[in-house]
Structure 1
Amino acid sequence: MTAPAATTVGLTSWRLPAEGAEEAVRHAARLGADGVQLDLGGPGRGPWADDPGTVEAVLRARAEAGVALLGLTANTLNDIGLTAPSRSADGTLARVVVVRLLDAAHAYGVPLVFLPSFRRSAIDTPDDFRRTARILAWAATEANARGLVLANENVLEPERAAHLVEKVGSPGFRLLLDPYNLCVAGRDPVRWVAAVGPYLADQIHLKDGHLRAEGSAALGTGDGRLDDVLAAVAAYGPAPRALVLENDYRDGDTALPLRDLAWARARAARPTPSPAPSHRTEAAV
């Protein structure tokens, strides 16, 4: 079986030398990407993607450039904390941002919304886990009401990641895979995929690097085991709708993104094995 012809290779707006969503769409088009994931923006994160007139401008740019809008996230939640107590100021603000994110995603017509669990949203303690599961369950219900799929990006141990999905308890909830984030956190990304495969979102973040050095490495040249991970996804997860590059391209040099786009397109077109048998016992907690 071959990867679907519609498999998209995209970029993330927050890793491009672009100020705002419209500019990110046009920059992605200039690089030849098929699509782009956008960030909601906010303090220290760039212009809000739902500012007056912005949605219309981005949709116009999308139509003119022929670039798909793949998803929307709110990286500002890493500065606020999904793990904040629900009645605290930060907990209230997190919910306000999530509603704003979901409304913007509905306006943009994206197929996926994802919430990050890093920095102040990192899931480090049992309380963090309970609070994250609670807000994700609420957010999944809100996303479903808007016709959206909700995902969470985290670096939990695979059994804990599977347990999080079960605690959220929504058929419209997924896990967003980023193999290199897992490597940095000391996880085996291939084992992670094997354990949570049925729960994966059909978009995957791809970046690479060297664990003992800073900076991006061209896809496939670092410690991210990306080929092994993509083989595991083909065996255990849904066929990827999009491979989304998250290497850091903010310096404006086009050599790395063009190379990475070619690398990802080659993998998107590679023959894949038949799905593996169910592994529910691995994912059980």
Structure 2
Amino acid sequence: MLLAPCIEWQFADHPDLADRIRAASRAGFTAAEFHLWRDKDLPRIAAALAETGMTLTGICVDPRRSIVDPAERAGMVAAVRESIAATAALGRPPLILASGFRVEGMSEADHFANAVAALKEAAALAEEAGVMLLLEPLNTRLFASMYLVSTSLGLDLVEAVGSPNLRLLYDVWHSACMGEDMAAVLAGRIHLVAHVQVADMDDRHEPGTGTLDWAEVMRTLASLGYAGGIGLEYLPTLPMAESLQLTRATLAV
């Protein structure tokens, strides 16, 4: 499987993100990912991508806006539109969306309906531009009132929107924090998952430093038929070369 380090947190001995892309390339990677883009030097990043042949597996829509709060919908759609335009020079990478927080007093049905309506608008922009949107469930450990903290609900939203340009980002660590059974929540719907991210329990470090059974995680992905990439979205505890060696050995890829 394609592995993509999260250069927001990794190769941090290089202050410049473009140099982190070069460092990831020297470490044998062909892809990487990072978080927000507005605080980054996009021309330098584009130059590093062109120089190395690296691709990006995900960048967050920036600024982050709610998909469930009608008062934020126009801002969310604008953020998607601006993110698509701004990242075109980076190869039109997938754009990651979180849900935003629950709206006090709003019913579950209205939360869902608002999310579907907002995501349909965003997906229409993505279809027009040929960009993939990745909807990411998070967890209540980090965000107590986040709306989308369930893989099953995220997949329900993707199905309800019905766009080929909206898929789920399944984060193993977020899912484990929510106590989900990975095989159960993904069964029959792995075709709706376009990207997977990994980190170990409990503290979001490299695979092999915590309590998750990574052999079982990788077997489950393979048995379900997942063929996408793996984003290494973890906070390293070891020097980068050792961290990556452990991660690759633990994931057996």
Q: Please indicate the TM-score interval, normalised by the length of the shorter structure.
A: 0.7 to 0.9
SS at match of 2:57: strand
Give the one of 108, 111, 125 matched to 1:142.
125
Q: Does 2:10 correspond to 1:8?
A: no
Aligned-partner Cα distance in 2 for 1:131–1:256? 45
2:99: which partner in 1?
Answer: 117
Mapping of residues 229-240 of structure 1, within 5 Å:
229-240=217-228
3-state SS of paired residue (1:99): helix
Q: State the SS of the aligned residue for 1:39.
A: coil
Q: Give the corresponding residue for 2:248.
A: 262
Pick one of 211, 235, 239 that aligns with 1:248. Answer: 235
TM-score (norm 1): 0.71
CA drift of 1:184 comes to 0.5
> Which gives a bigger RCO, structure 1 or 2 (Cα 8 Å, sep 6+)?
1
The 1:171–1:84 alpha-carbon spacing in structure 2 relative to 1, beyond 3 Å, is same
The 1:144/1:64 distance shift into structure 2, 3 A limit, reads same
- In 1, Cα distance between equivalents of 2:198 and 2:213: 10
Give the structure 2 partner of residue 209 of structure 1.
201
Equivalents in 1 of 2:186, 2:54: separation in Å?
Answer: 29
What letter corresponds to residue 93 of structure 1 in structure 2? G
Structure 1 residues 54-73: Cα deviation after superposition (integer angstroms, max 9, x where no partner)? 43321211233343222222
Show structure 1 runs of 5+ residues with no match: 1-6, 269-285
Which residue pairs with 1:58 in the alignment?
A: 45
Question: Aligned runs of 1:191-202 on 2, under 5 Å?
Answer: 191-201=184-194
- TM-score normalised by the chain length of structure 2: 0.79
| Contact 1:158–1:195, Cα closer than 8 Å, also in 2 | no
Which digits, 9 at most, give the CA deviation of each residue in 1:125-166, with x for residues without a partner? 443322222221111111111111222111554543332122
Which whole-Å CA distance do the structure 2 matches of 1:35 and 1:73 have between them? 16
Question: Once superposed, what is the RMSD of the aligned Cα atoms?
Answer: 3.0
Aligned to 1:84: 69
CA distance, structure 1, for counterparts of residue 63 and residue 246 of structure 2: 27
Q: CA deviation at 1:229?
A: 2.6
The CA deviation at 1:111 is 4.5
Deviations 1:71-123 (A, max 9, x none): 2223641xx323221xx2x33322221111122333311442221236579xx
Structure 2, unmatched stretches of 5+, are 139-148
Distance 1:19 1:93 in 2: 31
Task: Select which of 178, 183, 188 maps to 2:171.
Answer: 178
| Alpha carbons of structure 1 residues 218 and 162: separation in structure 2 relative to 1, 3 Å | closer
User: CA 1:237/1:118 → structure 2, altered by over 3 Å: closer, same or farther?
Assistant: farther
Q: Secondary structure at the match of 1:239?
A: coil
Aligned residues: 239
- Contact conserved, 1:219 with 1:263, CA < 8 A, in 2? no
Sequence identity (%): 24
Aligned AA (1:25): I
Query: Does the CA-based 8 Å contact 2:205-2:235 persist in structure 1?
Result: no
Matched AA of 2:5: L
Contact 2:150 2:178 in 1 (8 A): no
Separation in structure 2 between the aligned mates of residue 260 and residue 191 of structure 1, nearest angstrom: 28
> 2:81 is matched by which residue type in structure 1?
V
